[in-house]
């Protein structure tokens, strides 16, 4: 097989662009690259500046280049009898066909393969398929990205990497891949068919350390073979050893394995305070700013405590990101430096683990919704099974539709066969659960912590000591889990998995199996399934009408302060139901009673099937359908609870998006105050809970957190320690905070013309001075949009790119990556960019905060909390709004200085920090940067001067 790897650089899209450069790399049958052909092509129009910026190709490069016809005379002979390959092939192929057509050649009739498909299948855990990033991941020299010959060569080398990977897979995996693509008559099917034939001829087959089970090759072994970390030694390795001696040994080993390791005062204090809390059974609130090294600050004492007392310590994070960071970075380091064997296990929510039974069932039945994408996802997973031991979805980079696919193969309680499952010993979820059972330290997340409490402590191993990282989120997460949150699509999705239409879905599949059984009982059951089908259609129709009617209660105009673009919000008050509520309530009761009938009839039928021997082929289906019925029962209870509107301690509200209308409807019911539940469920029950975050104090006091988390009683009894660690950075030298004191102010979430013009002008001048490298934080999405276009226009002439959250498309992490890769850029972000964004070094030199991050006071939860405080004769603004905003403000400020070498500037455009009586709480809560206020037009010269002093140019 001879490959020709093609790449075009063009002036635009398939429909309107012209070719300006071509690159072609030829791969011979022995997999050597025999030649790379490249040529500029003279287009019929000037090259747009954007394309020159991307490719570096200018009009002068192409003015003496061959015309398209001339280039095609050289290119066409090279395409004879080859398999054409490209990165994102549809783009280059379209240009090729147009060029062939324009120059009078016949269309290309050969096979076409796409390296993106190969990368997805061969390397399912790659985080990006962008050519430059993949090249650097494989260590391929790609000297001139976006130049056609360089791109073609890089793509050819990537293809060879993929082929090498395919030849190293076990034969069984290649057979499964070939089988997967057989019915798909495309070129991928043809390729895998050929690969299989070639591989079957080989006498020696690679197997690696894989196990082969039920026609799948797996890296994972049986989890019951995993043993506790110190199973072979009788003695406790910490018996005579004090915490100080243990830490001295760990520090010595840290210095050996990390040449730059130096002990930090703040971290040393943290080691001691966390240890004291764990040992003396106290709770601890400990604020540890950026650069403290807080993960080690709590993990090292946690390991000591759990191994010495032989009791588990649970660690909980807010984000899966931090959980993965602990797994990939901190745990491997600790395994090297702790002087005895220990085990730290990661345990996520059940939906993160693949269910092998469901996956096997899905690929055997070819149960695919969108054939092309689902086939690629299934192929990715077949290869991933030879690489993963955790079965955790975070390891997979699935396409846009991958989430829907994952949902059908994820593990869940309701459809688990437990010990009766043929996959039980290989099961990823049970493996994770077993590992957590034998571990010293278990790392989970806040969501799972609360799910465990709601499930009567059935999910996590028992524990008395708990460390909560990112603790400033605890109250929010508690509200969501102790209350309810349901989307319109939750219902639709569950129903359509049971019944997409008369042929697709779990119930039609069961009906088909019954028909082929042909017994009398089978035909009775088929009749019941038809009846259930009709009832479920009624439920779906009623739910759609109910959603429409709930949506129509929402006020038409949205003030986007309440959230992102187009969000509509309405609070429903138990005492004051909307006027036509009775009509909605009767819809709801009709829907509930039909659902109850379905569940009664359905469960009875499934039980009869279970009792009857010999139904083995439908076992798997019966289990999954039973699980979906349990989901329906949960939905029924939630809808009933929400529509009841009868709990005074709960805030009920509706949210939807103006653009997607009732399809985007969400129902919320959240306890107004979770402090008493947190006290009861955690602080009274557990011996010691350590809460840490970079932002727990307001104006040097922890009172706000103590009140909101239910820690007052512990404080009165002397069971609560509070510590604010000194900052490891020299903020006076590293950060300058400037406030333009004559800056115009704003009412509401939208700026007037004067405010927007002044802001755009000032941001542009600052961005030119800092050469981009700037992040601007907004509190309202509408204001971000107001600034985006004019700022982009002003900065275009300076060759500074403007990236806007929600405007550019792409996820938050993709935007941050683009910002880091391109120094001359300005990133505009709202709510989710205020925290968790880590951009160390010079990539971020200037942070602009447009408005103080007050929560919109009209948000239902904020409103209800304010009413509660008023009833207690407290001032909601000072007790709730200001502390919440200060914590967010500190989070935002924390984006700037990430290492001891970082230097940067923060501009606060909101003059309330110096004019209002509460402004001082914001400024005093910061870790001591140099603060100056001045007139707006003095600001940029001062920034330039300050950057020069620090040698940042």
**DSSP string covering 144-196:** STT-HHHHHHHHHHHHHHHHHHHHHS-HHHHHHHHHHHHT--SHHHHHHHHHH
Question: What distance in Å separates the CA atoms of residue 565 and residue 781, rounded to the nearest whole number?
Answer: 6
User: Which residue ranges in the chain fall short of pLDDT 70?
Assistant: 13-15, 185, 557-566, 613-618, 748-749, 809-810, 951-953
The tokens for 93 are 């192929």
Question: What distance in Å separates the CA atoms of residue 587 and residue 542, rounded to the nearest whole number?
Answer: 7
CA 51-57-63 angle, 5° bins: 115
Question: What distance in Å separates the CA atoms of residue 270 and residue 296, rounded to the nearest whole number?
Answer: 9
Could you count the other beta carbons within 10 Å of the beta carbon of residue 205? 12
pLDDT the model gives residue 560? 43
pLDDT the model gives residue 706? 95
Question: What distance in Å separates the CA atoms of residue 130 and residue 759, rounded to the nearest whole number?
Answer: 35
Bridge partners of 83, per DSSP, are 3
Question: What distance in Å separates the CA atoms of residue 703 and residue 719, rounded to the nearest whole number?
Answer: 15
* Long-range contact pairs involving 493-501 (C-beta distance under 8 Å, separation at least 24): 493/407, 494/628, 494/631, 494/632, 494/635, 495/536, 495/539, 495/540, 495/543, 495/632, 497/408, 497/628, 498/536, 498/625, 498/628, 499/533, 499/536, 499/537, 500/369
pLDDT the model gives residue 617? 55
Predicted confidence (pLDDT) per residue in 530-567, tens digit: 999 999 999 999 999 999 999 999 887 544 443 455 67
- For the chain, count helices (H), then strands (E): 38, 25
Core vs surface per residue 652-687: b (16+ CB within 10 A) or e? bbbbbbbeebbbbbbbbbbbbbbbebbbebbbeeeb
Question: What distance in Å separates the CA atoms of residue 435 and residue 426, rounded to the nearest whole number?
Answer: 13
Bridge partners of 24, per DSSP, are 6, 37
For residue 183, the number of C-alpha atoms closer than 13 Å in the C-beta half-sphere is 10
- Which helix (H) or strand (E) covers residue 83, if one does? strand 83-86
Task: Identify the residue whose tokens are 């904020």.
Answer: 862
Task: Identify the residue whose tokens are 């405080």.
Answer: 869
Question: What distance in Å separates the CA atoms of residue 692 and residue 33, rounded to the nearest whole number?
Answer: 55
pLDDT the model gives residue 457? 86
pLDDT the model gives residue 566? 60
DSSP state of 576: B
pLDDT the model gives residue 15? 64
pLDDT the model gives residue 953? 47
Bridge partners of 567, per DSSP, are 657
pLDDT the model gives residue 809? 64
Predicted confidence (pLDDT) per residue in 732-775, tens digit: 999 999 999 999 988 766 778 899 999 999 999 999 999 889 99
Question: What distance in Å separates the CA atoms of residue 756 and residue 952, rounded to the nearest whole number?
Answer: 29
User: Are 846 and 774 spatial neighbours (Cβ–Cβ below 8 Å)?
Assistant: yes
Polymer length in residues for the chain:
953
Question: What distance in Å separates the CA atoms of residue 154 and residue 160, rounded to the nearest whole number?
Answer: 10
User: Are 775 and 827 spatial neighbours (Cβ–Cβ below 8 Å)?
Assistant: yes
The tokens for 670 are 């959240």
Q: Are strands 735-740 and 904-908 parallel, antiparallel or unpaired?
A: parallel
What secondary structure, in 3-state letters, does 235-297 show? CCCCCCCCHHHHHHHHHHHHHHHCCCCCCCHHHHHHHHHHHHHHHCCCEEEEECCCCCCHHHH
444 φ, ψ to 5°? -125, -165
pLDDT the model gives residue 618? 66
* Long-range contact pairs involving 559-563 (C-beta distance under 8 Å, separation at least 24): 559/748, 559/749, 559/856, 559/858, 560/749, 560/780, 560/781, 560/782, 561/748, 561/749, 561/779, 561/780, 561/856, 561/858, 562/856, 562/858, 562/859, 563/655, 563/781, 563/831, 563/856, 563/859
CA 615-616-620 angle, 5° bins: 110
Question: What distance in Å separates the CA atoms of residue 189 and residue 413, rounded to the nearest whole number?
Answer: 36
Query: What is the dihedral angle through the alpha carbons of 634, 637, 641, 644, rounded to the nearest 10 degrees?
Result: 150
Q: Of the candidates 720, 809, 738, 822, which has an alpha carbon nearest to the alpha carbon of residue 772?
A: 822
User: Are 939 and 911 spatial neighbours (Cβ–Cβ below 8 Å)?
Assistant: no
571: Cβ–Cβ under 8 A, 6 or more apart, which residues?
651, 652, 653, 860, 863, 864
pLDDT the model gives residue 562? 39
DSSP state of 62: H
Core vs surface per residue 734-764: b (16+ CB within 10 A) or e? bbbbbbbbebbebeebbbeeebbebbbebbb
888: Cβ–Cβ under 8 A, 6 or more apart, which residues?
834, 835, 853
User: Are 460 and 453 spatial neighbours (Cβ–Cβ below 8 Å)?
Assistant: no
């Amino acid at each position: 097989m001879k490959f020709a790897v093609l790449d075009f650089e063009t002036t635009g899209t398939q429909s309107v662009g012209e070719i300006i450069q071509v690159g072609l790399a030829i791969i011979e049958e022995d997999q050597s690259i025999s030649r790379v052909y490249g040529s500029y092509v003279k287009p019929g129009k000037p090259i747009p500046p954007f394309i020159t910026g991307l490719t570096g190709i200018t009009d002068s490069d192409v003015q003496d280049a061959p015309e398209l016809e001339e280039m095609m005379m050289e290119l066409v002979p090279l395409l004879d009898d080859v398999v054409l390959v490209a990165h994102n092939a549809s783009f280059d192929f379209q240009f090729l066909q147009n060029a062939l057509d324009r120059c009078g050649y016949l269309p290309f009739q050969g096979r076409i393969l796409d390296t993106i498909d190969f990368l997805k299948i061969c390397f399912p855990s790659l985080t990006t398929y962008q050519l430059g990033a993949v090249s650097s991941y494989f260590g391929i020299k790609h000297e001139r990205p976006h130049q056609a010959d360089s791109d073609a060569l890089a793509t050819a080398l990537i293809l060879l990497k993929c082929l090498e990977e395919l030849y190293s897979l076990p034969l069984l995996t290649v057979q499964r891949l070939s089988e997967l693509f057989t019915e798909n008559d495309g070129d991928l099917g043809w390729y895998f068919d050929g690969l299989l034939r070639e591989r079957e001829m080989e006498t020696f087959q690679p197997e690696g350390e894989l196990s082969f089970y039920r026609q799948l090759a797996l890296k994972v072994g049986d989890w019951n073979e995993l043993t506790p970390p110190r199973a072979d030694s009788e003695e406790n390795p910490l018996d005579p050893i004090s915490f100080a001696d243990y830490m001295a040994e760990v520090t010595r080993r840290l210095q050996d394995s990390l040449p730059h390791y130096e002990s930090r005062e703040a971290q040393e204090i943290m080691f001691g305070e966390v240890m004291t809390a764990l040992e003396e059974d106290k709770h601890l609130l400990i604020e540890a700013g950026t650069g403290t090294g807080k993960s080690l600050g709590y993990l090292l004492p946690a390991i000591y405590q759990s191994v010495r007392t032989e009791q588990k310590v649970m660690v909980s994070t807010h984000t899966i990101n931090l959980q993965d960071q602990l797994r990939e970075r901190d745990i491997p380091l600790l395994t090297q430096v702790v002087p005895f064997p220990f085990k730290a296990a990661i345990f996520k929510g059940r939906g993160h683990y693949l269910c092998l039974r469901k996956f096997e069932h899905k690929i055997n039945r070819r149960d695919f919704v969108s054939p092309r994408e689902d086939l690629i996802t299934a192929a990715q997973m077949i290869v991933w099974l030879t690489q993963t031991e955790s079965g955790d979805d975070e390891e997979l980079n699935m396409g846009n539709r991958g989430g829907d696919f994952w949902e059908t193969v994820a593990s869940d309680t309701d459809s688990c066969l437990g010990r009766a499952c043929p996959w039980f010993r290989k099961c990823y979820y049970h493996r994770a659960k077993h590992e957590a059972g034998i571990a010293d330290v278990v790392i989970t997340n806040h969501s799972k912590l609360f799910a465990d409490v709601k499930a009567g402590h059935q999910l996590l191993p028992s524990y008395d000591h708990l460390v909560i990282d990112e603790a400033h989120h605890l109250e929010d997460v508690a509200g969501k889990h102790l209350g309810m949150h349901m989307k319109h699509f939750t219902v639709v999705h569950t129903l359509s998995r049971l019944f997409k239409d008369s042929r697709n879905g779990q119930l039609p599949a069961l009906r088909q199996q019954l028909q082929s059984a042909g017994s009398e009982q089978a035909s009775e059951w088929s009749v019941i399934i038809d009846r259930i089908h009709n009832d479920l259609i009624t439920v779906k129709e009623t739910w759609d009408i109910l959603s429409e009617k709930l949506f129509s209660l929402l006020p038409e105009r949205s003030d986007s302060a309440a959230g992102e673009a187009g969000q509509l919000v309405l609070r429903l008050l138990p005492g004051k139901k909307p006027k036509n509520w009775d009509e909605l309530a009767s819809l709801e009761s009709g829907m509930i009673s039909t659902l109850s009938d379905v569940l009664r009839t359905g469960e009875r039928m499934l039980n009869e099937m279970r009792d009857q021997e010999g139904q083995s082929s439908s076992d798997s289906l019966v289990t999954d359908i039973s699980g979906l019925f349990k989901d329906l029962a949960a939905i029924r209870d939630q809808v009933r609870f929400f529509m009841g509107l009868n709990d005074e301690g709960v805030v009920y509200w509706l949210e939807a998006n103006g653009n997607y209308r009732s399809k985007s409807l969400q129902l919320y019911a959240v306890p107004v105050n979770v402090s008493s539940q947190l006290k009861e469920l955690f602080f009274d029950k557990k011996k010691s809970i350590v809460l840490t975050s970079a932002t727990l104090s307001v104006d040097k006091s922890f009172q706000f957190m103590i009140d909101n988390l239910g820690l007052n009683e512990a404080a009165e009894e002397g069971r609560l320690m509070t510590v604010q660690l000194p900052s490891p950075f020299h903020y006076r030298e590293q950060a300058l905070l400037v406030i333009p004191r004559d800056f115009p102010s704003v009412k509401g979430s939208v700026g007037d013309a004067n405010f927007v013009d002044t802001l755009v002008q000032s941001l542009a001048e600052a961005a030119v001075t800092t050469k981009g490298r700037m992040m601007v934080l907004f509190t309202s999405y509408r204001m971000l949009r107001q600034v985006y276009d004019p700022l982009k226009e002003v900065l275009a002439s300076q060759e500074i790119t403007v990236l806007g959250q929600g405007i550019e498309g792409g996820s938050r992490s993709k935007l941050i990556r683009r910002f880091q890769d391109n120094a001359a850029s300005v990133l505009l972000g709202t709510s989710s960019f205020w925290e968790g964004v880590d951009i160390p070094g010079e990539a971020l030199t200037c942070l602009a905060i447009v408005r103080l991050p007050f929560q919109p006071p009209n948000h239902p939860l904020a409103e209800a909390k304010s009413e509660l405080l008023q009833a207690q004769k407290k001032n909601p603004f000072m007790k709730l709004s200001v502390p919440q905003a200060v914590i967010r403000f500190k989070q935002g400020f924390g984006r700037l200085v990430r290492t001891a070498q970082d230097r940067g500037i923060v501009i606060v455009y909101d003059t309330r920090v110096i004019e209002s009586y509460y402004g001082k709480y914001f400024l005093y809560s910061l870790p001591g940067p140099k603060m100056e206020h001045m007139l707006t037009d003095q600001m940029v010269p001062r920034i330039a001067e300050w950057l020069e002093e620090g040698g940042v140019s």
